[in-house]
A and B are shown apart, each in its own frame.
Chain A
């Protein structure tokens, strides 16, 4: 159990367009989900904390108007990269915190975004 999926796994978009990434907890409910960004050969950097039914909390330096986060249900959080630019190209990873059973964060497989 405790599977987290992300869709799409890979997306290419043109500069100036928006792209939405979905993060789903498949077999548990998650009131809290997290979005991370990973550059090549770098660590994961926390972007924001997504709480179901409330506004996301963004880390310092992350533009909330550029990275829109919606946590509309207990199993789904979305990250929308608006007006994407090449510098937004990265690997985006979500995690979901399960409060029942083994309380820990479960990570999705990540989404590779390439902006051309």
Chain B
């Protein structure tokens, strides 16, 4: 069985400061990892995904994440945040590449950008 833990339910950050949103997972098989963003009253949008290859994954909007197998982590980072990054961020895992399977989500982290 898979599970995802997002350690922080809420992260306040000042504008233009760096941010890291933490995600840890557990899975007994090969794992595929995703980060989604949900803006208010909108559907989830894929930020980035790790399927294989380089452990450093770059996504949209300046976000990147690093897959660390030994620490079972997939933390999301951005070097300088903007007010428009205020949203809910979800980490998800699948044991089938490409998302051809139902995803297991973490509880989400609310990123709050303070001016």
Chain A positions within 8 Å of B, measured between CB atoms, are 4, 32, 34, 36, 41-46, 49, 59, 93, 95, 97, 99, 103-105, 107-110
| Alpha-carbon distance between A97 and B98 when the two chains are bound, in angstroms | 9
Chain B positions within 8 Å of A, measured between CB atoms, are 4, 9, 36, 41-46, 49, 90, 98-108
- B residues in contact with A36, CB < 8 Å: 102, 105
| Alpha-carbon distance between A95 and B106 when the two chains are bound, in angstroms | 17
* 26 A-B pairs (CB sep. < 8 Å): A4-B43, A32-B100, A34-B102, A34-B103, A36-B102, A36-B105, A41-B9, A41-B107, A41-B108, A42-B107, A43-B106, A43-B108, A44-B90, A49-B102, A97-B99, A97-B100, A103-B98, A103-B100, A104-B46, A104-B98, A105-B46, A105-B103, A107-B43, A107-B44, A107-B45, A109-B43
| Chain A min CB distance to B87 (Å) | 14
Given the interface pairs A97-B99, A103-B98, the reply to whether A46 lies near B46 with Cβ below 8 Å is no
- A residues in contact with B41, CB < 8 Å: 109
Kindly identify which residue among B43, B98, B105, B107 contacts A108, using a CB–CB cutoff of 8 Å: B43
| Alpha-carbon distance between A110 and B4 when the two chains are bound, in angstroms | 22
Known contacts A36-B102, A43-B4, then 7 further A-B pairs from the complex at CB < 8 Å, ordered by chain A residue: A34-B103, A36-B105, A43-B107, A43-B108, A44-B44, A46-B103, A108-B43
| Chain B min CB distance to A32 (Å) | 7
Q: Which residue of A lies closest to B104 (CB)?
A: A46
Let me know if A44 and B43 touch, CB within 8 A: no
- A residues in contact with B103, CB < 8 Å: 34, 44, 46, 105
Kindly identify which residue among A43, A59, A99, A103 contacts B102, using a CB–CB cutoff of 8 Å: A59
Let me know if A43 and B105 touch, CB within 8 A: yes
| Chain B min CB distance to A25 (Å) | 12
- B residues in contact with A44, CB < 8 Å: 44, 90, 103, 105
| Alpha-carbon distance between A104 and B98 when the two chains are bound, in angstroms | 5
| Alpha-carbon distance between A107 and B105 when the two chains are bound, in angstroms | 13
- B residues in contact with A93, CB < 8 Å: 43-44
| Alpha-carbon distance between A103 and B103 when the two chains are bound, in angstroms | 14
